[in-house]
Amino acid sequence: MSLTLEISSCLLINKKYGTSIIQLICNKLISQYPYKMAWIGLLESDGSIHIESVAGETAAYLNKEELRWDTAANLRNPLVTCILKQKPVCLEIKSADEQFGKKWDDFLINTHSNSLLLQPLFNDSKCMGLLCIHSKLSESFLNKTECALLAMIAQHLSCYYES
C-alpha cells in the first residue's frame, strides 16, 4: 500500500518533470520484491509499442524485441489480448507456451521472469498503453489485493498521460 501512495504522490506532485518521473515509477516498482522488471509501453498508430520507460535486470532485452499490439502481430499475443479486452493479462512461465505460444514462453525465459502482468493504461476509456511488471516468482499476480493496487498505479499513470 505504501508503494501505491508513494507512486501516486510522485505522479501528482511531479508532473512537470516529464518522462523522468515515469522512469522513477519503474524504478520504484522493481525496488519491491519480487518484481524484477517494469516497463511502460505506449501504443503507436503503426501497431508497434514504444517503450516509454523501463527498469530492471533484463531491460536491455526489450530493445531486441519488436513488440506489437495490432492483430496482425498474432491473435495469440497477450499484448493484443490485454488491449482489445481492456483487461489485465497475467502470464505464467508454466503456461505461457500453451496459452500464447512459444514466443511468449521464450520472452519470459529471456527476461528471467516467472510471471508477467500486463495492465492496460486508459485515456478517455481507450487503451493507450501498458504497464508491464515482471516477477521472479511464479503465480506472483494471484493476490487480488496486490493486483488491485497495481491497477490503481496503472490508473494514476493513465492520468499522468492525459493532457
β-pair partners for 127: 122
pLDDT digits (tens, 9 = 90+) for 5-20: 666 566 555 555 555 8
Gyration radius of the chain's alpha carbons: 15
pLDDT single digits (tens) 69-111: 886 656 678 999 899 889 999 999 999 999 998 989 999 999 9
Calpha distance 155→11 (Å, rounded): 11
Chain centroid offset of residue 153 CA = 11
What is the structure's pLDDT at 89?
A: 95
Question: 39, 50 in Cβ contact below 8 A?
Answer: no
Spatial separation of the C-alpha atoms in residues 38 and 25, rounded to whole Å: 9
Higher per-residue pLDDT: 74 or 28: 28
Grid coordinates standing for 142? 494471484
- Report pTM: 0.86
State how far the Cα of 10 lies from the Cα of 70, in Å rounded to an integer. Answer: 32
